[in-house]
């Protein structure tokens, strides 16, 4: 279990992955307070998704998935009206053990969490190399259908050089999978198993009528 409670930032449509950066725009009073507290401390936020059926309760305290991702604030800009623009880089997955009741003037949620490992046994690496090649081929086909200009430069040098964990998490983040599928990827403990799940999801997308998209996105809350 982590030493101190982790401030939580729930979102209905965003799942943060380790090694991945996500932009955030914070404007609600509770999350402005969260930003102030985080920047005065260790600059860490626990991103955790809200199950789709509970998304209408976002203005309140909806139920959360039990697994999220701890992120470190790498960039912070406070606007003149008090809103914040942050860039959060995923560090470690976590499991929520229990939420800490609000006390004093704290407006945002926080929880005691256990940080999770991402095992990657040496014996799994040959299979991952095969999955990696298949995933690149699948993404190339999807880009050729949807964004031919991007397909010409895919994969870029950064993705080619990425270690396996960064590779699978970057692509899991890039695709507009439903939140349930992104959560499945996040909750998959073993890196090699995450490759297998991602490869399967991409195969399904290739068989669909639109072939999926690789969008940029900006998170608003």
For the segment 49-64, the average pLDDT, to the nearest whole number, is 95
- Kindly report the CATH number that applies to the domain delimited by 6-116: 2.30.130.40
Contacts of 117 (CB under 8 A, 6+ apart): 189
Least confident piece of the model among 125-139, 176-190, 196-210: 196-210
Question: Cα(148)–Cα(136) distance, rounded to whole angstroms?
Answer: 15
pLDDT, position 31: 97
For the segment 157-168, the average pLDDT, to the nearest whole number, is 93
pLDDT, position 205: 86
Least confident piece of the model among 86-95, 137-146, 198-207: 137-146
Question: Cα(199)–Cα(66) distance, rounded to whole angstroms?
Answer: 24
pLDDT at 17 over 90: yes
The per-residue pLDDT of the chain, averaged, comes to: 91
* Percent of the chain surpassing pLDDT 70: 93
Question: Cα(22)–Cα(35) distance, rounded to whole angstroms?
Answer: 15
Question: Cα(86)–Cα(196) distance, rounded to whole angstroms?
Answer: 32
pLDDT, position 215: 41
pLDDT, position 143: 85
pLDDT at 206 over 90: no
Question: Cα(139)–Cα(143) distance, rounded to whole angstroms?
Answer: 6
What does the pLDDT look like over 60-105, one tens digit per residue? 999 999 999 999 999 999 999 999 999 999 999 999 999 999 989 9
What six digits make up the tokens of 138? 């699948």
The 3-state DSSP class for residue 6 equals strand
Domain ranges of the chain: 6-116, 122-206
Give residue 217's pLDDT band: very low, low, confident or very high (50, 70, 90): very low
Model pTM score? 0.89
pLDDT at 201 over 70: yes
């Amino acid at each position: 279990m982590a030493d101190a409670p982790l401030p939580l930032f729930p979102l209905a449509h965003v799942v943060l992955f380790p090694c991945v950066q996500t932009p955030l725009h914070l404007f609600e009073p509770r999350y402005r307070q969260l930003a102030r507290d985080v920047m005065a401390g260790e600059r860490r936020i626990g991103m955790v998704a809200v199950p789709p059926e509970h998304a209408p309760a976002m203005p309140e305290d909806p139920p959360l998935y039990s697994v999220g991702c701890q992120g470190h604030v790498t960039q912070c800009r406070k606007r003149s009206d008090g809103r914040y623009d942050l860039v959060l880089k995923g560090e470690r997955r976590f499991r929520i053990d229990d939420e800490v009741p609000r006390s004093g003037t704290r407006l945002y949620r926080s929880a005691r969490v256990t940080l999770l490992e991402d095992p990657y046994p040496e014996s799994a690496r040959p299979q991952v190399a095969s999955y990696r090649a298949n995933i690149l081929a699948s993404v190339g086909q999807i880009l050729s259908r949807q964004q031919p200009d991007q397909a010409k430069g895919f994969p870029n040098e950064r993705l080619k050089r990425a270690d396996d964990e960064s590779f699978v998490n970057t692509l899991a983040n890039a695709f507009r999978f439903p939140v349930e599928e992104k959560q499945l990827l996040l909750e998959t403990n073993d890196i090699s198993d995450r490759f297998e799940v991602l490869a399967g999801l991409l195969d399904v997308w290739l068989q669909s009528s639109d072939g999926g998209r690789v969008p940029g996105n900006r998170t608003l809350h």
